[in-house]
Structure 1
Amino acid sequence: MRIGIVCPYSWDVPGGVQFHIRDLAEHLIRLGHEVSVLAPADDDTPLPPYVVSAGRAVPVPYNGSVARLNFGFLSAARVRRWLHDGTFDVIHIHEPTSPSLGLLACWAAQGPIVATFHTSNPRSRAMIAAYPILQPALEKISARIAVSEYARRTLVEHLGGDAVTIPNGVDVSFFEHAEPRKEWQGEPDAGVLGFIGRIDEPRKGLPVLMKALPKILAARPGTRLLVAGRGDEEEAVASLPPEMRSRVEFLGMVSDEDKAKLLRSVDVYVAPNTGGESFGIILVEAMSAGAPVLASDIDAFAQVLDQGAAGELFANEDPDSLADAAIRLLGDPERRAGLRERALAHVRRFDWSTVGADILAVYETVTAGAASVATDDRPGLRTRLGLARGGASR
């Protein structure tokens, strides 16, 4: 099958959507499909052979963050050329409502279109206001995927129609078999916490973790916090007493291999995100690596962690709740071992062997045509996929 995938966000800036698209493309290529990904990218960005650059992106405030998007006449021309040259059997557009390549591709593409919705924002005034502009493009979509129930709810409430829920995928074995690094591991009487994310993006929650750290260190003075990600390191620790700042080690940006090793090394992975998350791929990666997870109790994280069965939850934006939970976990090896065992069983449902097969089933459904869907023996599949011909109506 010839598959064209549209990435809305700049390829050179790490993010969950980009990682999902990269891993999906490589999974499909391993299965023998021909895949081309169109993505924004700076001129000097090294790109895999399957990625086609649509030109440099610009930073735009989007969904509580700053996204690097690509839009305009030149971008539209590049989209049309990519579509013409690709002669794809199916186009898979991610975030078709964002002001970027996805929307441009939706306007220009002909034939079967699958759209994946990642955003979870139940009060998006911008999406409501933009609906009249988006409607003609959305009506061309053949099938819709939401990465979580919360992304599906955002879609239904703002744009109408429905979608089948297929989570983000992870190569579980890649994380499971990574080798820990000794310098990132804790001593028997001192634990190591880990955090991976953009340091200067408030919704990733590092300030909440920093506020919790003094209480954690008071109870367990030998604790270390390893932080991987880009941002202002001095500003990140500014709220800590000077004598505690040495307990925080900044690793900067890490490779995929080092990320897996980091997650294999820490005693507890902390995800203090405050909102705006529709899934939580880092939680799945941490569970795959066997890291006990401590996460804020936002809806998306609670769902990924099986409502607390596969990871510990603390009250969102509450440093005391985070600290108390971290102290309990660091002092209870049996609890950590139990979480690790349940998480490794739970995480199998997110492996690409399962997620990839579900996405391919959607591709095959839309390329076979709506007539074959109507006779499918799986009740409600047409409705869950949000198939075109009325799927975008409100």
Structure 2
Amino acid sequence: MKIGIVCPYSWDVPGGVQFHIRDLAEHLIGRGHEVSVLAPADDDTPLPPYVVSAGRAVPVPYNGSVARLNFGILSAARVRRWLHDGSFDVIHIHEPSSPSLGLLTCWAAQGPMVATFHTSNPRSKAMIAAYALLQHALEKISARIAVSEYARRTLVEHLGGDAVVIPNGVDVDFFAKAEPQAAWQSELTRGTTAGDGPAAGGTIGFIGRIDEPRKGLPVLMRALPKILAERPGTRLLVAGRGDRKEALENLPRQMHARVEFLGMVSDEDKARLLRSVDLYVAPNTGGESFGIILVEAMSAGAPVLASDLDAFAQVLDHGQAGELFANEDADALAAAAVRLLGDEARRAELRRRGSAHVRRFDWSTVGADILAVYETVADGAASVAADERTTGLRARLGLD
């Protein structure tokens, strides 16, 4: 099958949607399909052979963050050329309602189209106002996918219609088989202490953009002094782009040495980090429709502690595969982290439950579900085309 996938966000700025599209494309290519991804990208960005650049993106405030999007006359021309050259059996558009390549593709494309909705937002006046502009384009979509029940709810409330829920995918074995990094491990992981002494520590991991408040690092930083008061040997590893000075400005100076900033890490190092920590904390405060990092952490065998966002609760099987704390409550985060770091049996239980639960998010399952949607809309389009040819032939023969 020839599959065209449209990425709305800049390929050179990592994010959950880009990772999902990358992994989906590589999974489909591995299954023998021909895949082309159209994405915004700077001219000097190294791209995989299956990615076609639609030109440079511009930063736009979107969904509580800053997204790098691509829109305009030049972008529209590149979309049309990509569609013409691709002759795709099915086109898969991600976030078609965002002001980027997906919406341009909806306007320009003909034939079977699938759309995936990632965003989870409260109903907004801006979205209601934009509906008239979006309606014609969205009516051309043959099938809709939402990555979670909360993304589906956003779609229903904002735009009408419905969607099948297919979660984001993860290569579970990639994370499960990663080698831990000794420098990131604590005495708990190495088994040199029972973990319940007054000086015992443990390693907490956080991965996310430091300068994006909704990722929740400020909440974790507010919790850290109380964690260190109970477990002074605790270390926090922070991976992600942003200003470390800004992150540390409200933390007492004598505690700065307990925080290590790793900057941007490769996929391999992310997997090693998640395999090395005693506890992964996701303190995100909102704007999340899924929580791919939770799936990655569970795949690596890390016990997970996350804010009780609806989407996070669903990914963590409502507290069965990972623990939850009250959103934005630094005291609740600290209390839960101290308890978990001191309870080896509970952490082992979360590892077992998380490792079992996460298999439903593996690409072997998710990819097959997405491919089934492709085949359904492609077969439906072929059937409609055949009916139209038959009707036309009967009319020309005077049989109707």
TM-score range, shorter chain: over 0.9
Match of 1:338 among 349, 374, 385: 349
Indicate the residue corresponding to 1:171 in structure 2.
Answer: 171
Indicate the residue corresponding to 1:29 in structure 2.
Answer: 29
CA RMSD of aligned residues (A): 1.0
1:240 and 1:120 mapped to 2: Cα distance? 32
Conservation of the 8 A alpha-carbon contact between 1:122 and 1:153: no
* Counterpart residue type for residue 42 of structure 1: D
Indicate the residue corresponding to 2:62 in structure 1.
Answer: 62
- Superimposed CA distance per residue, residues 332-388 of structure 1 (whole angstroms, 9 cap, x where no aligned partner): 000000000000000000000000000000000000116979xxxxxxxxxxxxxxx
Conservation of the 8 A alpha-carbon contact between 2:206 and 2:238: yes
Indicate the residue corresponding to 1:382 in structure 2.
Answer: none
Indicate the residue corresponding to 2:150 in structure 1.
Answer: 150
2:267 and 2:167 mapped to 1: Cα distance? 20
- Superimposed CA distance per residue, residues 97-122 of structure 1 (whole angstroms, 9 cap, x where no aligned partner): 00000000000001000000000002
Please give the residue correspondences for 1:98-247 in structure 2 after superposition, counting only pairs within 5 Å: 98-188=98-188, 189-247=200-258
1:43 and 1:218 mapped to 2: Cα distance? 49
How far is the alpha carbon of 1:225 from its aligned partner?
Answer: 0.1
- Superimposed CA distance per residue, residues 274-333 of structure 1 (whole angstroms, 9 cap, x where no aligned partner): 000000000000000000000000000000000000001000000000000000000000
2:301 matches 1:296: no
2:355 matches 1:358: no
Say which SS state the counterpart of residue 223 (structure 1) adopts. strand
2:16 matches 1:5: no
2:289 matches 1:256: no
2:117 and 2:271 mapped to 1: Cα distance? 27
* Counterpart residue type for residue 296 of structure 1: S
Distance 1:294 1:372, change over 3 A: farther
How far is the alpha carbon of 1:43 from its aligned partner?
Answer: 0.5
1:220 and 1:63 mapped to 2: Cα distance? 37
Moved over 3 A (4+): 370-373
Conservation of the 8 A alpha-carbon contact between 2:4 and 2:37: yes
How far is the alpha carbon of 1:124 from its aligned partner?
Answer: 2.7
* Counterpart residue type for residue 75 of structure 2: S
Indicate the residue corresponding to 1:310 in structure 2.
Answer: 321
Conservation of the 8 A alpha-carbon contact between 2:123 and 2:157: no
* Counterpart residue type for residue 109 of structure 1: A
How far is the alpha carbon of 1:126 from its aligned partner?
Answer: 1.9
2:127 and 2:90 mapped to 1: Cα distance? 26
- Superimposed CA distance per residue, residues 126-170 of structure 1 (whole angstroms, 9 cap, x where no aligned partner): 211100000000000000000000000000011110000000000
The structure with the larger Rg is 2
2:126 and 2:376 mapped to 1: Cα distance? 32
* Counterpart residue type for residue 98 of structure 2: S
1:370 and 1:66 mapped to 2: Cα distance? 37
- Superimposed CA distance per residue, residues 80-110 of structure 1 (whole angstroms, 9 cap, x where no aligned partner): 0000000000000000000000000000001
1:190 and 1:272 mapped to 2: Cα distance? 20
* Counterpart residue type for residue 116 of structure 2: T
Percent of residue pairs identical: 86
Indicate the residue corresponding to 2:40 in structure 1.
Answer: 40
Conservation of the 8 A alpha-carbon contact between 1:286 and 1:293: yes
2:381 and 2:328 mapped to 1: Cα distance? 46
**Greater relative contact order (CA < 8 Å, ≥ 6 in sequence):** 1
Conservation of the 8 A alpha-carbon contact between 2:305 and 2:323: yes
2:366 and 2:342 mapped to 1: Cα distance? 36
Say which SS state the counterpart of residue 14 (structure 1) adopts. coil
- Superimposed CA distance per residue, residues 157-196 of structure 1 (whole angstroms, 9 cap, x where no aligned partner): 1111000000000000000000000000011332000000
Tell me the number of residue pairs that the alignment of Structure 1 and Structure 2 aligns.
373
Say which SS state the counterpart of residue 61 (structure 2) adopts. strand
2:335 matches 1:324: yes
* Counterpart residue type for residue 64 of structure 2: G
5+ residue gaps, structure 2, are 189-199, 385-400
